[in-house]
Chains A and B, each alone.
Chain A
Amino acid sequence: MSEHLAPYDSPRHRDETAIAGMWLFLASEILLFGGLFLIFVVYSHTRAAGWALGVRHTNLMIGGINTALLLTSSMAYTLGVDAARNENARGVILAGLSAAGLGVTFLCLKGWEWHTELADHLFPGPGFALGGPQAGGAQLFYSFYFLSTALHGLHMLVGIGLIGWICLRTYRGRSAPLIAMPVEVVGLYWSFVDLVWVLLFPVLYLIGRV
């Protein structure tokens, strides 16, 4: 058994290493998104009026619905992690498909939002729709908006791909005992993507709106 587990001492050691490895990766992700939040901290302070002008032009309805979708998706996948611990393959697949489906809906809505914003000439650069003395701050806001939502969307795509892989893996190996650790590690990533959005949502849609 020890040869099969090498280089780990026990299954518990192996599982804890997998969880710690994912947390180390997430710590690096905290710093990646931290740079974005630094942009928010600095420019929402130094260009407050222009930044708030940008916030007022975002679509709160889509942002709010997307937040609820992502919270529900994260909840669904966490139920899938519980199912994996109980060796319930069907539960894992159902939860995974629900979570991935909600994630795809999130991305579709975000795509629609981007489409309307590009049609309204809210992409920073020549021809930017908002004029006046606060236009510079609003352009900074929209630079932040497009960069942060694109980076988050990229993480969503990776997460949906990982959940798809988990579902496929579980479906193919449904006759064998279910290994819960990959399900749990992907769950950590998916919940982190949700956590980042929970912090981005007020920054992009709420703070400075009124």
Chain B
Amino acid sequence: MARVLSCWGLLLMLLAVELVLAAVGANWGIGGCAGLMALLIACGFMRMMRAPTLAAIFAIGGLFWLSVLLALGSLDSFTRTNFPVGDTLSSPAPNPRIPPDTAP
């Protein structure tokens, strides 16, 4: 019981830290806090460290495929250099490869 309660106390403390970091705009710190909270839940509430080997393999497999999904999925928009991704979504941006239409 003490382990669960201390884990809960830590989680609430990290939530408070997140709110403080949000007030000063420390986005990377917020991400770090969220990661720590997720880890605390996985280890403290879900008992990840005591899980059977097969369960640990499934959990690690899920995280592996998640990293593949995020890495390959965001690769295009993070590395594209010929035209910005965002500006073309709602308003058509001029394509530099096509000369502007100057016909009367």
Q: Which residue of A lies closest to B11 (CB)?
A: A71
Shortest Cβ distance from residue A204 to the other chain B in the assembled complex, whole angstroms? 11
Interface membership of chain A positions 43-86, coded 1 if the CB is closer than 8 angstroms to chain B and 0 otherwise? 10111100000000000100010011001101100110010000
A153 beta carbon closer than 8 Å to chain B:
no
Interface size on B, residues (CB 8 A): 51
Contact B45 A209 (CB under 8 A): no
Shortest Cβ distance from residue A185 to the other chain B in the assembled complex, whole angstroms? 11
Within 8 A of A (CB), among B41-90: 41-42, 44-46, 51-52, 54-56, 58-59, 61-63, 65-66, 69-70, 73-74, 77-78, 84-86, 89-90
Which one of A113-121, A158-166, A174-182, A194-202 is at the B interface?
A194-202
Shortest Cβ distance from residue B30 to the other chain A in the assembled complex, whole angstroms? 5
CA distance A201 to B15 in the complex (A): 10
Interface size on A, residues (CB 8 A): 53
Q: Which residue of A lies closest to B51 (CB)?
A: A19
Number of A-B contacts (CB under 8 A): 145
Chain A residues within an 8 Å CB radius of B56 = 23
Q: Which residue of B lies closest to A198 (CB)?
A: B37
Which residues in B have some Cβ–Cβ distance to A below 8 Å? 1, 4-5, 7-8, 11-12, 15, 18-19, 21-25, 27, 30-31, 33-34, 37-38, 41-42, 44-46, 51-52, 54-56, 58-59, 61-63, 65-66, 69-70, 73-74, 77-78, 84-86, 89-91
What 7 pairs between A and B have smallest CB-CB spacing? A27-B62, A136-B90, A46-B86, A210-B25, A75-B8, A23-B55, A30-B62
Which residues in A have some Cβ–Cβ distance to B below 8 Å? 16, 19-20, 22-24, 26-28, 30-31, 34-35, 37-38, 41-43, 45-48, 60, 64, 67-68, 71-72, 74-75, 78-79, 82, 135-137, 140, 187-188, 191-192, 194-195, 198-199, 201-202, 205-210
